[in-house]
Amino acid sequence: MSCLQRAEQAEVVDGRFVFLWIAFNAAYATDIDETQRLAAEYRHLPTLSYR
């Protein structure tokens, strides 16, 4: 079942909002390749100090 279908069936407004938010983000999401993902994860490491 898609998030849009779940949103239509949700009886609680908060649940409807969450499912619509997920569907919206999924519609506009872009795939990030592995290199970009790892670079983003480890970008902060050079600034860490180990004392």
Instruction: State yes or no: pLDDT of 8 exceeds 80.
Output: yes
pLDDT for the residue numbered 51: 61
**18-41: average pLDDT:** 79
Q: Look up the domain containing 38 and give its range.
A: 3-47
pLDDT for the residue numbered 27: 80
Type of residue numbered 44: H
Name the nearest CA neighbour of 6 among 25, 24, 27, 23: 23
pTM for this model (two decimals): 0.51
pLDDT for the residue numbered 23: 87
Q: How many domains does the chain have?
A: 1
Tell me how long the chain is: 51
pLDDT for the residue numbered 30: 67
